[in-house]
Amino acid sequence: MNNQNKDSVKEISPSKLLLDNKNPRLPEGISEEDQPKLIEFVANEYDSIAIARSIAYHGFFLSEPLIGIETNKEEYIIVEGNRRLAALKLLEDDRLRAELDLTDDDEWDDLAEKAELPETIPVIIVSDRRSVAPIIGYRHILGIEPWDPWAKARFIASLIEGENLKFTDVANEVGENENDIKGHYRNYRIIYEGREKHNIDTKRAEKRFGVFTRAMSSLPLREHIGAPSPSDVKKEEIIIRKKKADELQELLSWLFGTEEQKPVIQESRDISTLGNVVKSEEGLRVLREARNLGEAFIAAGGLKERLLRRLNVASSHLEAAECDLHEYYDDEKVVTLLERCKKALERLLSILSWNKDKNNAVEHD
């Protein structure tokens, strides 16, 4: 972008500008729609009305040009600035606003009356998408207008598969390390293959792709569906084999639910628990049968492991406290905390004794 000369900036009428139907933020189905439907989707889903308010009250800021690619019809596809373009087109065109099903349609009309719109706006013209990839990557992956996780992953995949870039090149262009890029790409391919090759409904996973990304950081969950670590990912190599399609489908149902079933996790923190369950043969069996993460966690031995871990941490801390106690043996706060520890230990020992007595009574019966 730094090599663009002054002639690459053109003043163009908004009527000659088109929204980008390959924008990674757009769902695949929407990308096949005509321009009015694209404008409607962008306006409603990405809050173009906030930009419209700014234009109506403060004018259109000419200091930040849109970025576009010229078509063979003397039109320009805007690859950066679609929210601003949607706002301009809706403020400018009464018939378009009437045709579309817009959220806050009355406000759009009010803003259109107030707005003083420029006849032309500055657009930086680039030769192809490849030349603008770095600025889009930095702006929307690490920058001030981050895309949602699914859009980021689609953009990265488009650079790898559409532009034939190496993982290292993509990492340099968007400002992340190569392993992270491979992870984003792997996670995208898993969902893509699930939908396109195994006929799995992935809409919920796409919408909450950040949760799926978190799940793929769990080694047991990756192994459950046969997914590789980022270092082993290769371009367009099949990730989800046919024999693992059922496991992918059940993992997505555990994470996001289905039309008929609720997810088994309540929040992203439960993913660690889910991983512990899945790596246990007995835990996995109970999860599949009962579809209850709590029951499966107990079956997997997780409750015992958690109890042992807590007791071990508590005893280690109490033993370490002996080193400091002689300096503060008469401190009121110290004494109070020690009394709390004593009472907690007495309650635990009481529970232990009660259960032993109960078991002995059953044996004698």
pLDDT at 138: 65
Cα–Cα distances in angstroms (integers) from residue 195 to residues 18, 198, 238, 288, in the given order? 29, 6, 13, 22
> In terms of pLDDT, which residue wins out, 52 or 360?
52
Class of domain 6-127 (CATH, top level): alpha beta
What count of other Cβ atoms lies within 10 Å of the Cβ of residue 81? 22
- What value does the mean pLDDT take over residues 144-171? 88
**What tens digit of pLDDT does each residue of 286-302 get?**
999 999 999 999 888 86
Q: Alpha-carbon torsion 292, 278, 258, 230, what sign?
A: positive
Whole-angstrom Cα distance, residue 74 to residue 90?
21
pLDDT class for 5, splitting at 50, 70, 90? very low
- Whether the per-residue pLDDT at 216 is higher than 60: the answer is yes
Q: Give dist(CA 101, CA 97) in Å, integer.
A: 8
pLDDT at 140 over 80: no
pLDDT of residue 327: 84
The boundaries of every CATH 3.90.1530.10 domain in the chain are 6-127
- The span from the CA of 78 to the CA of 23, in Å, is 9
CA distance 300 to 302: 5
Tell how far CA 259 is from the center of its chain: 21
- CA–CA dist 27, 318 (Å, integer): 55
Q: What is the pLDDT of residues 243-288, one digit of tens each?
A: 999 999 999 999 999 999 999 999 988 999 999 999 999 999 999 9
As a whole number, the mean pLDDT across the chain is 88
Position 4 pLDDT exceeds 60: no
Q: Beta strands of the chain (E only): which ranges?
A: 9-12, 17-19, 66-70, 76-80, 121-126
Q: Is 97 left (phi over 0), alpha (psi -120 to 50) or beta?
A: alpha
Does 3 score more than 60 pLDDT? no
pLDDT of residue 25: 79
User: Residue 290's CB: how many other CB atoms inside 10 A?
Assistant: 13
Write down how long the chain is.
Answer: 365
pLDDT at 142: 62
Query: Tell me, what's the pLDDT at 27?
Result: 79
Pairing of strands 76-80, 66-70: antiparallel
